[in-house]
Amino acid sequence: MGKLEGKVAFITGAARGQGRSHALRLAQEGADIIAVDLCEQVGTIDYPMSTQEDLDETVRQVEALDRRIHAVKVDVRDQAAMKAAYAAGVAELGPVDIVLGNAGIAPLGSAEPDPERTFDEVVAINLKGVWNTVWVAAQDMIDRGQGGAIVLTSSTQGLTGRGSDGSAAAIGYAAAKHGVVGLMRSFANWLGPYGIRVNTVHPTGVHTPMVENEVIGRYVEENADAAAMVANLMPIDLIDAVDISNAVLYLVSDDGRYVSGVTLPVDAGFTAR
Amino acid sequence: MTGLLEGKVAFITGAARGQGRSHAVRMAEEGADVIAVDLCAQIGTVPYGMATPEDLAETVRQVEALDRRIVASTVDVRDSAGLQSALDDGVAQLGGLDVVSANAGVFSTARFEDLTDDQWDDMIGVNLTGVFRTARAAVPHLKANPDGGAMVLTSSTAGVKGIPNAAHYVAAKHGVVGLMKTLANELAPHRIRVNSLHPTTVDTDMIQNPAMYGLFRPDLGTSATREDAEAGFRTTNKLDVPWVESIDISNALVWLCSDLARYVTGVQLPVDAGNLVK
Ligand SMILES: NC(=O)c1ccc[n+]([C@@H]2O[C@H](COP(=O)([O-])OP(=O)(O)OC[C@H]3O[C@@H](n4cnc5c(N)ncnc54)[C@H](O)[C@@H]3O)[C@@H](O)[C@H]2O)c1
Ligand SMILES: NC(=O)c1ccc[n+]([C@@H]2O[C@H](COP(=O)([O-])OP(=O)(O)OC[C@H]3O[C@@H](n4cnc5c(N)ncnc54)[C@H](O)[C@@H]3O)[C@@H](O)[C@H]2O)c1
C-alpha cells in the first residue's frame, strides 16, 4: 500500500528533470498525476528546454506504473490557461490533494542582451508562475474541506545570494526564489486553518538538463563567483532528482502531516556552511 | 519490504518514554537495533514526574517484540563517563553505530527574574551540555563507520524563537542549534549528517501535567486539566491542532536518518503544525 493511494497531484514542469521524478515518485506511492509543462523554449534561455516528447515520456512512465496521468502543454505564466488545464485534469482524475510548484528556468549563463527582459522573464516564471499554480487550485481545495499539501520548489538561491555576479539572471533568479519563500509563508498562513500545508524545498545543484548543459557548464567554469553557488559541505557536487522527490514525498505524505511553513533545504549542507 | 534502517544501530537518549520511546519503536520497525539510555529518576527542579526504570523496561519490551535487539542503560546524559561506557558497551554488543537521536530533555518554567541557579544549571546541564556529551561520545563511533552516519538533535520551536517564562529552556534549545550547525560543518567530510528537529507541543508527560496546564490557565492554576488547557495550546499552532503526537517526530527522525535524506545536513526541521510560520 503506497503512501499516497487515491491521491491526485498537480505538478508543474513535469516534462523532465525534477518534475518528472516527482511525478514518478508520487505515482509509485499510488497518486494520479495532472502534469503541466511549457514544452517550448523561452526567449531569455540559451539551454534547451523541454519538448512535447519529454512530456509524452513522463506520461508513458507514469502509465507504466499503472497510474493515471492527464498531461497538458501550458505556460505557468498564463493564469487562465493554467485554470483550464487544472480543471481538465480534475475532470478526468478527480479533486487535487497535492500541488507541486516546480516549473522554473535558470537564465544564468544565457546571453543577456536586454537585462530587463531577463529579469522580468525569470520573475514571471519562477515567482508569478508559482503564485498562479497555487491560485488555480487553492479555492477548490478549501471548498472540498479535505486539507492537502503544497510544495513549492525554491533553491539554495532562495535562502542566500551567495555567488551572485550582478547579472540580471543571477539577481532575478535569487529574488524570485526568495520570493517563493514569501509565497509559501503567506499561503501557509492563509491555508493552514483549512488543513492545507505549504512548504518549500531548497535544492542545491541537481543532475537535470537545467544545469547539465553547455551554457551553465561554461558559466560555472568561467565565473569564479559561480563556483560558490555549487560548493556543498558534503563531498558531492550535484545530487539526484530523486533526492528532492523523496523530500517532497515526506512533506506531502502523512509522515509530514504536521509540517507546514517550513523551508526545507536538500542541499548537501550548502546553506549550513 | 525491507525497512528504511535495516541493519542499522541507533543510539537514543531519553528513551524510557515519550518521544524517545516512540523513536526507539519506530526505528526498530524500520529494522534498526537500539542503544537506549535514560536517567529514570527525578531531577529536583522539574515540576512533573520523570521516567522510571519500569518505563525503560517497557521500551525494551516493545523493541524486542519487534524482533530487534536493544541494549538499555540507566544513565544521566550529564555523566560523560557513564554515557560513554553505556554507548561503548552497546556498540560492542550490536556491532557499530549509524544513527544518533539526542532526545533527552527536561522542561520547567519561571519568570526570568525568578529563575533559580538550580533551574538554570539543571536545564543547561541536561538540555545543552547533555546533547554535547551525547554527540561527543558518539562521534568517534560514527567516524569509524565507513558509511558515515546521521545525528539528529532534538531542539524545539523554542530553539528558533523566544517564549516567555522559559529563558533557560530557550537558551538551551537555541544552543542545540549552534551545536548542530557546527557539527554539520565539522562532520560533512566524514559523510556524517547532522540536523535538528523543532517540535511544537508534543503530547507527552512533559507537557501533559498540571504545571503546564496552569501556564495556559492561570485562572485555574494547577487545578487546570488537559481539557482546560487544550484551547490554549491550539492557539499556538497554525494548523488546527493543540499538539502533535510523538509518532510525527519519529517519522521526521526516521526520514532524516534514512537514505531518503542522504543529502540533508545542517537543517533545522520544524514539525510544528505551522507554529513558527504563524
Ligand atoms: N537543477 C538544479 O540544479 C536546481 C537547483 C535548485 C533549484 N532548481 C529548481 O528546480 C525546479 C525544477 O528544475 P529542473 O532542475 O528539473 O530543470 P528542468 O529544466 O529539467 O525542468 C524544468 C521544467 O520546467 C518547465 N518550465 C519552464 N518554464 C515553464 C513555464 N513557463 N511553464 C510551464 N513549464 C515551464 C520546463 O519546460 C522544464 O520541463 C526549477 O524550479 C528550478 O529552478 C533546480
Ligand atoms: N513535549 C513537548 O511538547 C516538546 C516540545 C518540543 C521539544 N521537546 C523535546 O523533546 C524531547 C523529548 O521530550 P518528551 O516530550 O518525550 O518528554 P518526556 O519527559 O516524556 O521524555 C524525556 C525523557 O528524557 C529523560 N531524561 C531527562 N533528563 C535526562 C538526563 N539527564 N539523562 C538521561 N535522560 C534524561 C526523561 O527521563 C524522559 O524519559 C526533549 O528534549 C524535549 O525538550 C518536547
Among A74, A175, A54, A83, CA closest to A122: A175
Query: Given CB atoms, is A148 within the 8 Å cutoff of chain B?
Result: no
Q: Please give the Cα distance from B55 to B60 (Å, whole number).
A: 9
Chain B residues 173-192 with a CB less than 8 Å from chain A = 181, 184-185, 188-189, 191
* Number of domains chain A is built from: 1
DSSP letter (8 states) at residue A224 = H
Q: Does residue A267 lie within any of the structural domains?
A: no
Q: Are A36 and A136 in contact (CB under 8 A)?
A: no
Residues in chain B within 8 Å Cβ distance of A204: 263
Q: Does B117 touch chain A (CB under 8 A)?
A: no
Note whether residue A268 is domain-resident. no
Q: List the single residue in B265, B276, B278 with the smallest CB-CB distance to A268.
A: B265
Q: Tell me, what's the pLDDT at A221?
A: 85
How many angstroms separate the alpha carbon of residue B252 from the centre of ligand 1? Answer: 27
Residues of A in contact with B255 (CB under 8 A): 250, 255
In our burial notation (b when 16+ CB lie closer than 10 A, e otherwise), range B83-94 reads bbebbeebbeeb
| pLDDT values of chain A reduced to their tens digit, one per residue, 273 residues | 899 999 999 999 999 999 999 999 999 999 999 999 999 999 999 999 999 999 999 999 999 999 999 999 999 999 999 999 999 999 999 999 999 999 999 999 999 999 999 999 999 999 999 999 999 999 999 999 999 999 999 999 999 999 888 999 999 999 999 999 999 999 999 999 999 999 999 999 999 999 999 999 898 888 877 777 778 999 999 999 999 999 999 999 999 999 999 999 999 999 999
d(CA B13, CA A194): 36
Q: What is the mean pLDDT of residues B257-270?
A: 98
The cell for A106 is: 535558470
Q: What is the pLDDT of residue A222?
A: 86
Nearest chain A residue to B278 by CA distance is: A189
C-alpha closest to that of A239 among B195, B186, B261, B194? B261
Q: Report pLDDT digits (tens) over B56-83.
A: 999 999 999 999 999 999 999 999 999 9
Domain membership of residue A261 (yes or no) is no
The per-residue pLDDT for B248 is 98
- Ligand 2 site residues (CB inside 6 A) read B 13-14, 16-20, 38-39, 50-51, 76-78, 103-107, 126, 130, 154, 156, 199, 201-202, 204-207
Q: Give residue-wise pLDDT tens across range B101-135.
A: 999 999 999 999 999 999 999 999 999 999 999 99
Tell whether A63 is covered by a domain. yes
For residue A201, give the CATH number of its domain.
3.40.50.720
Chain A nearest C-alpha distance from B258 (Å): 11
Closest in A249, A255, A268 to B263, CB measured? A268
Q: Which homologous superfamily does the CATH classification assign to the domain defined by B9-206+245-265?
A: NAD(P)-binding Rossmann-like Domain (3.40.50.720)
Residue A115's domain comprises 8-256
Could you tell me if residue A264 is inside a domain?
A: no
- B82 at interface of A, judged by CB pairs closer than 8 A: no
Instruction: Calculate the CA A192 to chain-centre distance.
Output: 21
Domain with CATH 3.40.50.720 in chain B: 9-206+245-265
**Which pLDDT score is estimated for A1?**
81
Instruction: Write A158-166 long-range contacts (CB < 8 A, 24+).
Output: A158/A200, A158/A202, A158/A263, A159/A202, A159/A263, A159/A265, A159/A271, A160/A271, A162/A228, A162/A229, A163/A225, A163/A226, A163/A227, A163/A228, A163/A229, A163/A230, A164/A225, A165/A223, A165/A225, A165/A226
Q: What is the CA radius of gyration of chain A?
A: 17
Q: Kindly report the CA angle at A104 between A101 and A108, in degrees rounded to 5? A: 150
Cell of B205: 508527560
Beta bridge partners of A36: A12, A72
Q: Is A101 in the pocket of ligand 1 (CB under 6 A)?
A: no
pTM for this predicted structure: 0.96
* B 42-81 → A contacts, CB under 8 A: none
pLDDT for A32 equals 98
Residues of chain B contacting residue A262, judged by C-beta atoms under 8 Å apart:
269-270, 272, 276-277
CB B275 within 8 A of CB B156: no
In a domain, A172, yes or no: yes
Report how far residue A13's alpha carbon sits from residue B25's, in angstroms, rounded to the nearest whole number: 39
Contacts of A266 in chain B (CB under 8 A): 261, 263-264
